[in-house]
Amino acid sequence: RAHLDRIAAVDGDVHAFLHVSDHALDVAADIDRRRAAGEQLHELAGVPLAVKDVLVTTDMPSTSGSKVLEGYMSPYDATVVARSRAAGLVPLGKTNMDEFAMGSSTEFSAYGPTRNPWDLDRIPGGSGGGSAAAVAAFEAPLALGSDTGGSIRQPAHVTGTVGVKPTYGGVSRYGAIALASSLDQVGPVTRTVLDAGLLHDVIGGHDANDSTSLSDAWPSFAAAAREGASGQVLKGLKVGVVRELDGSGFQAGVASSFRAALSAMEAQGAEIVEISAPHFEYGVAAYYLILPAEASSNLAKFDSVRFGLRVNPQGAATVENVMAATRDAGFGPEVKRRIILGTYALSAGYYDAYYGSAQKVRTLIQQDFDAAFAQVDVIATPSAPTTAFRLGEKIDDPLQMYLNDITTIPANLAGVPGISIPSGLADEDGLPVGIQFLAPAREDARLYRVGAALE
């Protein structure tokens, strides 16, 4: 009730939600009854959960921020949603996002932007700005997001929240409307590292419905967060700082907050080691070929026949004309830009030059990580180069928007896990800053230990 009241009070301004559940109170009442009857319920039972609209739900529309899917009702729940419901979490609503998760500001939502609760003239990050803003504005205590190139971690950075991109394959993608299948991961957005660990424990683990799901037995991430809270884990921890990510392009207050966090870690016994990752600087270029290529293929299913919108064309209603009219009306400018880019990059004659080269860069970045993790336990970077920028500031300059992802993209290209936790406020504008930690694949627990130690 308190969260619904809060939504009613602030979401007119923030616009974190595209849809608010009309039966969350009934679900919560049922949990109360079960608890009163003596049933042993999960620690998170009864806790409200905001769900990014990229995740399909049977009881609420799932649009992925697009007009193409306006009002679309899924016949099944995403695995992460089904697992959350089974643990007794109460889905509160669906959160706003850049259309099909393409963007860094939530301005590319077909349903209007979300605003940053810290300053309503500023962006809440993207693509999962709705989930991060909902948590930051106390509209929801926990949220789910998806991270293909930073869409959990960068919104966490600009809203003072915690965001985790798990190891690729650690959390099921079944029912996450695909953007780029080799990069997408679902993960938690919360106010504390422990909350993220608790939610990760609920949603993670093998799922036979996702062919890329890892069959590993995972440790408890909540336990890792609790272990880390003592701070002892920092003693002797080797923290790598990437030489190539230290310099121009980083706002002064972001850089100084980052250095202050490193000093705090050093004071608790961590060892800061400069490392080189010479190919990280090509990550953005490689990503913006691989992502559009995969997205152009994934979005081919929005063909006016199988899902959602259908528009009658001018002239003859041939299959091709209906499809073209539907996709023209249903997709926004950023989605069209990427479909065109991806289709071009995959076309005969250009495939090797663009897609093939990008895949080679991807391998080099993976090798940079291997070399780094032979020297250090975790890598630390600022979570993004700047604090929240103003709405409209980068909307007409796609390259500026893409460059914002420089620190988050390498983890997706390599499949390694990453966490962003708040590291304070920037001196010059008083806006939140995040520090990102990256660990080797399958070592997500390390991030929870380190994150909780620093919190």
Give residues in contact with ligand GLN (CB under 6 A).
101-104, 127, 146-151, 179, 291, 405
Work out how close the CB of 151 gets to ligand GLN at its nearest, in angstroms, rounded to a whole number.
Answer: 3
The reply to whether 127 belongs to the active site is yes
Cα distance between residue 248 and residue 164, in whole Å: 26
Helical (H) or strand (E) element with 418:
strand 418-425
CB of 292 to ligand GLN, least distance (A): 9
Where helices occur in 406-443 by DSSP H, the ranges are 409-414
- In the complex, least distance from residue 100 CB atom to ligand GLN, rounded to whole angstroms: 8
- Backbone torsion region of residue 46, taken as left when φ is above 0, otherwise alpha when ψ lies between -120 and 50, otherwise beta: left
Dist CA 23 CA 90 (whole Å)? 9
DSSP state string for 271-326: EEEEE--TTGGGHHHHHHHHHHHHHHHHGGG-SSSSSS---PPSS---HHHHHHHH
Contact status, residue 190 vs residue 175, Cβ threshold 8 Å: no
Catalytic pick from 21, 104, 151, 420? 151
Query: Judged by CB, which is closer to ligand GLN: 91, or 150?
Result: 150
Shortest distance, position 275 Cβ to ligand GLN, whole Å: 24
Nearer to ligand GLN, 224 or 284 (CB): 284
E-assigned strand segments in 117-160? 142-147
Closest CA to 43 of 216, 226, 230: 226
Of the pair 207, 405, the CB lying nearest ligand GLN is at: 405
Q: Which of 64, 74, 105, 127 is catalytic?
A: 127
Residue 26 C-beta: closest distance to ligand GLN, Å = 32
Q: Which is nearer to ligand GLN, 102 or 439 (CB)?
A: 102
From the centroid of its chain, how far is CA 376?
25
Q: Which is nearer to ligand GLN, 285 or 311 (CB)?
A: 285
* Residue closer to ligand GLN (CB basis): 92 or 101: 101
Query: Whole-angstrom Cα distance, residue 332 to residue 302?
Result: 13
Q: Which residues of 369-393 are buried (b: 16+ CB within 10 A; e: fewer)?
A: beebbeebbbbbbbbbbbbbbebeb
Beta carbon of residue 291, minimum distance to ligand GLN (angstroms, whole number): 6
CB of 282 to ligand GLN, least distance (A): 16
Contact 419, 451 (CB under 8 A): yes
Question: What angle separates helix 444-454 from helix 193-203, to the nearest 10 degrees?
Answer: 160
Reply yes or no on whether 52 is catalytic.
yes
Shorter beta-carbon distance to ligand GLN: residue 150 or 385:
150
Which residue has the CB atom at the shortest distance from ligand GLN?
Answer: 151
β-pairing, 185-190 vs 238-242, is unpaired
CA dist 288 and 402 (Å) reads: 8
Which are the catalytic amino acids?
52, 127, 151
